[in-house]
Amino acid sequence: MNPIETNVTRANDPDVLYFGPGVNNGTANITNGTLYVPSDKTVYVAGGGLLDAQVVFQNVSNSAIKGRGILAAKSSGAVLIESSSNITVEDVVILNPNGYALTAGMSQGINILGIRAFSSKGNGDGIDLFCCRDALIDGIFMRNSDDNIALYQHRWDYYGDSSNITVQNSALWADYAHPINVGTHGNTPHPEVMDGVTIRNIDILNHHEPQLGYQGCIAINAGDGNLIQNVHIENIRVENFQLGQLVNFRVMYNTKYNTSPGRGIRNVVVKDLTYEGNHANPSLLLGYDRQRPITNITFVNLQINGKIIDDNMKKPSWYSAADFVPLFANEHVHNLSFVSN
């Protein structure tokens, strides 16, 4: 829950675009359902206020949207950040937009703090980042009709590598698709890299996905020549979700969304992941071929229904620790280990 607001923004601050209680109750210019935010300005939506517009940060810096009010864009996603830097989205409630709750592309220094987002429409993703660097997602609650959080490479007009992305201290409820989805889209002619993703202190409340190709409470799926590396996942609590897999790590070629396989996934640590439930399908770790493998995957203190999964656990000699997850890893997965401390 958000704490009581103590540092309330003043309506007469010249650097603030203020919206008070009521619908679109402000003087800032909304054009065709869009509010463009200049550099060095903050949009503030007060409690009891509803802003029926998409909030756009485009080629700007040092700007923000804050407040305890509601964003309810009827014809688009709620927040769009493109080619911008040092942008903060804080505390607002995003209610059933006609698209993603928040999209950020080719931007740096993104802080998404304490927001709540709810969606029920098709393609109702929560937060989607494309080719971004130095992004922090902290203290959010998401219930969405598609991926809660998706970290992608190239798509549409977004290009470039991603690095230093942190998702932490949050609760996720995916009515369809993934709570956390990393990879998928990329740039086959000019392959990109996602390097340095940290996911920690997350409660996954539900995952419900009938399609086998899109399961995984935490999915790392490298396609389109992507290389995904140096991922640290820690302190994740997964409740008894309805339908899907606990983890799904694949170097893949999904012909619906990709134009080539990914290059690989490497150096992933999953620490203190706990799952209590009985609805999980077997998890999958699938490299693509000898040239596009998954390498160096370590599970530390993986706990399934109270049992720690460890390569040295008591088990029949012909079993692997992965059988007790259960998790299947194919022949293109190298240096997979389960340890406890």
pLDDT of residue 2: 73
**Residue 112 is assigned to a structural domain of this protein:** yes
Range of the domain at 335: 99-339
Q: For 296-334, write each residue's pLDDT tens digit.
A: 999 999 999 999 999 999 999 999 999 999 999 999 999
**Residue 74 is assigned to a structural domain of this protein:** no
Domain count across the chain:
1
Q: Is the pTM of this model over 0.85?
A: yes
**Residue 183 is assigned to a structural domain of this protein:** yes
**Residue 212 is assigned to a structural domain of this protein:** yes
**Residue 218 is assigned to a structural domain of this protein:** yes
**Residue 134 is assigned to a structural domain of this protein:** yes
pLDDT grade for 1, boundaries at 50, 70 and 90: low
**Residue 274 is assigned to a structural domain of this protein:** yes
Three-state secondary structure call for residue 282:
coil
**Residue 2 is assigned to a structural domain of this protein:** no
Q: What is the mean pLDDT of residues 10-36?
A: 94
